[in-house]
């Protein structure tokens, strides 16, 4: 083939015209994705106008997130149905990514709001609060689970939420069942994340609308038992009975504070007033 330079692009010319580097073109040559039309006796690469179009295809498909392997396969089997199939798949992938970004933005906004709220001056004494219905995705714990098993279940719980694209909020909750709370056994029955809407999910737990006694716990998880006891004493001394679970929300935890003494949790216990 004639190496009349006027008919072809040099590596530098093609790189500059198509917005890539010479190194990129060398790499494409090495992997067989875009080989030059011919190489002259001095080892200089020359590209045809058709290869300029091929590079345009490569650049466009890279922008859609296609791998070089997928692009190479497409170029080798190039036709309209395959092109449409690739574009539809990439559009679907972008929709998934957009939803992931939207969930992450909400996740971060919740984290910021919760952390800023925890740095404000919070009541030191128990108080009564009317709460709306709330929804949780929860993973069950067992009495006797050690720290290692708890960490394993926490990791499994996060994976469960992420894999199902649940629109869950940032902070971790723990839930102590009514029966266990009344027996002065405050080891949680569940770890959970709040979701904005009820889901068709086997791990869904509904926190009922109603009256709750709320108290803020300051300190490590190990000292929460004292706050639970104070709550129980307050309930019994104010003509109320426990009518549901206890819910503990991490406001400041190991995510924000290095010293466990600086943790802050909000504990809410479902109650009813005695007649």
Residue 147: the pLDDT is 80
pLDDT value, residue 1: 46
Contacts of 183 (CB under 8 A, 6+ apart): none
Which of 175 and 124 is assigned the larger pLDDT? 175
pLDDT value at 119 more than 80: no
Query: What is the structure's pLDDT at 168?
Result: 73
pLDDT at 166: 62
Which CA distances in Å does 103 have to 32, 97, 131, 165, 211? Answer: 40, 10, 25, 8, 30
pLDDT per residue over 35-45, tens digit each? 998 888 888 89
pLDDT of residue 207: 96
Task: Quote the CA–CA distance of 93 and 101 in Å, as a whole number.
Answer: 12
DSSP type of residue 67: -
Residue 21 predicted with pLDDT over 80: yes
Residue-wise pLDDT for 157-183, tens only, equals: 988 887 775 667 778 899 999 999 999
Of 3.30.460.80, 3.40.710.10, 3.20.80.10, 3.40.50.10860, the CATH number of 115-273 is: 3.20.80.10
Distance CA 22, CA 138 (A): 53
* pLDDT cut 90: percent of the chain above it: 43
In tens, the pLDDT along 147-164 reads: 888 889 989 998 888 777
Sheet containing strand 38-39, edge to edge, reads 9-10, 45-47, 38-39
Question: Is the predicted pLDDT of residue 84 greater than 50, yes or no?
Answer: yes
Buried b (16+ CB within 10 A) or exposed e, 83-103: eeebeeebeeeeeeeeeeeee
- pTM as predicted: 0.67
* Domain spans of the chain, in order of start: 8-77, 115-273
Name the phi and psi angles at 65, rounded to 5: 100, 5
d(CA 127, CA 90): 52
Question: Please, what CATH class does the domain formed by 8-77 belong to?
Answer: mainly alpha
What pLDDT does residue 150 have? 85
Burial classification of residue 116, based on how many CB atoms lie within 10 Å of its CB (0-12 exposed, 13-18 middle, 19 or more buried): exposed
Average pLDDT of span 194-201: 85
Query: pLDDT, tens digit, for every residue of 129-141?
Result: 999 999 999 999 9
Long-range pairs, 8-13, Cβ under 8 A, ≥24: 8/37, 8/38, 8/46, 8/47, 8/48, 9/46, 9/47, 9/48, 9/49, 9/51, 9/52, 10/44, 10/45, 10/46, 10/47, 11/36, 11/44, 11/45, 11/47
Measured between alpha carbons, how far is 24 from 108 in angstroms, rounded to an integer? 37
């Amino acid at each position: 083939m004639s190496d009349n330079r006027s008919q072809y692009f040099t590596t530098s010319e093609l790189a500059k015209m198509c917005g890539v580097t010479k190194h990129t073109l060398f790499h494409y040559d090495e992997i067989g994705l875009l080989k030059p039309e011919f190489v002259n006796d001095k080892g200089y690469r020359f590209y045809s106008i058709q290869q300029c179009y091929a590079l345009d295809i490569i650049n466009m498909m890279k922008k859609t997130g296609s791998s070089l392997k997928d692009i190479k396969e497409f170029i080798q089997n190039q036709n309209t149905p395959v092109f449409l199939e690739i574009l539809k798949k990439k559009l679907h992938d972008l929709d998934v990514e957009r939803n992931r970004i939207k969930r992450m933005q909400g996740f971060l906004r919740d984290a910021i709001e919760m952390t800023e709220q925890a740095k404000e001056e919070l009541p030191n004494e128990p108080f009564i609060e009317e709460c709306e219905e709330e929804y949780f995705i929860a993973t069950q714990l067992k009495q006797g689970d050690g720290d290692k098993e708890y960490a394993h279940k926490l990791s499994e719980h996060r994976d469960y939420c992420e894999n199902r694209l649940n629109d869950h909020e940032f902070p971790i909750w723990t839930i102590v069942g009514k029966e266990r709370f009344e027996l002065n056994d405050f080891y949680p029955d569940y770890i959970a994340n709040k979701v904005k809407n009820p889901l068709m999910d086997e791990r869904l737990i509904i926190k009922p609308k109603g009256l709750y006694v709320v108290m803020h716990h300051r300190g490590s998880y190990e000292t929460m038992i004292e706050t639970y006891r104070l709550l129980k004493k307050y309930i019994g001394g104010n003509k109320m009975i426990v009518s549901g679970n206890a819910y503990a929300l991490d406001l400041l935890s190991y995510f924000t504070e290095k010293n466990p003494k600086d943790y802050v949790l909000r504990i809410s216990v479902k109650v009813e007033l005695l007649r």
